[in-house]
């Protein structure tokens, strides 16, 4: 029996992941770290409210087996550069460090296809830098998820993302051979793959969309 910890449980991937883990008998306890109270009724779920700036609560209660990090933002949602960097880079790095200190064995990080610390794109650069830092912690099992554009309905509507989803759905027909990894993937597929990988004995670290689709 295991305890799952989820950061970003109300997001596109995190919400699917929470639903799957809630139904999974492997997990007897689920810890959610969120910014505001959630109306969830399940005896397995514990909710911890934090502003993600004071980490004392997280340090105290981030104990368990598998830590899933699904938090992310966009420049439109977070136009302030310092705050954007804090969410995209500082949060996964700091929480990853706390998880390692608290002897979490498995850490699962939702990154992005094309992540690279040397990228000129701020989003991909931050993801790449965070990946390198997380690798340095020496988790027993580190899983880095690198999906292409994710399909699905967000609670908060993003026009740009909505249009991109529509365009990529049609363009995906053109992505063949080595370019097939750029095909859009549904957020539910990503969440399901994360759970399967975590429970498996696979020792790979990075999984792109093509690899994720093999689990569905």
Structure confidence at residue 76 (pLDDT)? 85
Query: What pTM value is reported for the model?
Result: 0.89
CB count within 10 Å of CB 23 equals 10
Structure confidence at residue 152 (pLDDT)? 80
Domain 2-213 has CATH 3.40.50.720: yes
d(CA 162, CA 153): 9
Q: Provide block-wise average pLDDT over 10 residues at a time, the chain (216 residues).
A: 96 96 97 94 95 97 98 90 96 99 98 96 96 98 95 62 54 57 86 98 94 90
Structure confidence at residue 180 (pLDDT)? 60
Domain residue limits, the chain: 2-213
Structure confidence at residue 166 (pLDDT)? 53
């Amino acid at each position: 029996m295991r305890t799952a910890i989820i950061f970003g449980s109300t997001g596109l991937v995190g919400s699917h992941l929470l639903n799957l883990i809630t139904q999974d008998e492997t997990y007897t306890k689920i810890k959610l770290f969120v910014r505001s109270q959630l109306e969830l009724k399940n005896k397995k779920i514990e909710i911890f409210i934090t502003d993600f700036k004071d980490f004392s609560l997280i340090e105290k209660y981030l104990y368990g087996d598998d830590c899933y990090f699904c938090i992310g933002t966009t420049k439109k949602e977070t136009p302030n550069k310092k705050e954007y960097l804090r969410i995209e880079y500082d949060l996964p790095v700091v929480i990853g460090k706390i998880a390692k200190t608290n002897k979490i064995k498995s850490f699962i990080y939702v990154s992005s296809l094309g992540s690279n610390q040397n990228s000129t794109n701020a989003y991909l650069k931050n993801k790449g830098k965070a990946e390198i830092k997380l690798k340095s912690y020496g988790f027993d099992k580190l899983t880095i998820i690198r999906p292409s554009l994710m399909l699905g309905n967000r609670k908060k509507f993003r026009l740009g993302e909505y249009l991109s989803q529509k365009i990529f759905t049609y363009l995906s027909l053109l992505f063949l051979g080595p370019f097939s990894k750029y095909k859009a993937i549904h957020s539910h597929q990503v969440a399901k793959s994360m759970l399967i990988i975590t429970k498996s004995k696979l020792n790979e670290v990075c999984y792109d969309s093509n690899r994720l689709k093999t689990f569905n």
